[in-house]
Amino acid sequence: MKITQGQFSFLPDLTDAEIKLQVQYALNNGWAVALEFTNDPHPRNSYWAMWGHPMFDLADPAGVMMELDACRKAHADCYIRLLAFDNVKGWESIRMSFIVNRPAQEFGFELIRQEGEGRQIHYTLRSVTTAAIAARQF
C-alpha cells in the first residue's frame, strides 16, 4: 500500500533531481529545510523524529542532499519527509512538506475494532509497522 501525504502526493515519487529543484525553491525563499523520519506513517502522527537540526543559511541544495543521503542510509526502511519552515513573522510555520523516502515494502494500516457500550463498534487505524515493533519489543 503506497502511502501518500504532503505536497505532490498525487504525483509519482520525486526524483533526486526534482527534490533538488524543490529545495532550491525553498532556499530562494529563505526557508529553513529540515528532514524527519518515522516508521509510523499514520496521518495523525505528528511526532516524526528529526534528522539533525533544521538547516539554516544554506545557499545550495547540495548540503540538503548530503543529509538526505545520510538519512536514507541510516533509515532506509523508514518514511523520510522534507520540510521547509518559514520563520517570517505571521507565518512561522511549515510551508512545504513531502515524502522523499519510503520503505521497500509498505505495510499500511490494520483496522482495529473496539467493542464499546451496547456492543457498539468503534473503528480505528493503526500502522502495521508500529504494531509489529510493539509486538517484537513487549
Partner 1 sequence: MSEMITAPEEMLIDLEEMYQHSCIGETIAALDRDMVGLVPVKTRIREIAALLLVEAARRKLGLQAEPPSLHMSFTGNPGTGKTSVGQRIADMLHRLGYIRRNHVVVVTRDDLVGQYIGHTAPKTKEILKKAMGGVLFIDEAYYLYRPENERDYGQEAIEILLQVMEDKRDDLVVVLAGYKDRMDTFFSSNPGMASRVAHHIDFPDYNAGELFEIAGLMLQKMHYHLASEAELALRDYIALRMQQPRFSNARSIRNALDRARLRQANRLFSQRATKIDRHDVSLITESDIRASRVFQA
Interface positions with partner 1 (CB under 8 A): 52-53, 55, 57-64, 66-67
Nearer to partner 1, 62 or 74 (CB): 62
How near is the Cβ of 70 to partner 1 at its closest, in Å? 9
Nearest CA to 103 out of 29, 6, 2 is that of 2
In angstroms, the CA 127 to CA 106 distance is: 10
**Alpha-carbon separation of residue 114 from 32, 120, 122 (angstroms):** 42, 8, 5
Least gap, CB of 39 to partner 1 (angstroms): 24
By C-beta, is 18 or 67 nearer to partner 1?
67
Residue 136 backbone dihedrals phi, psi, to 5 degrees = -70, -35
H-type alpha helices, 12-103? 16-28, 62-74
Longest dimension (CA), the chain: 61
Report the residue number, 41 or 71, with the smaller CB distance to partner 1.
71
Minimum CB distance to partner 1, residue 79 (Å): 23
> Minimum CB separation from partner 1 for residue 62, in Å?
4
Closest CB to partner 1 among residues 60, 77: 60
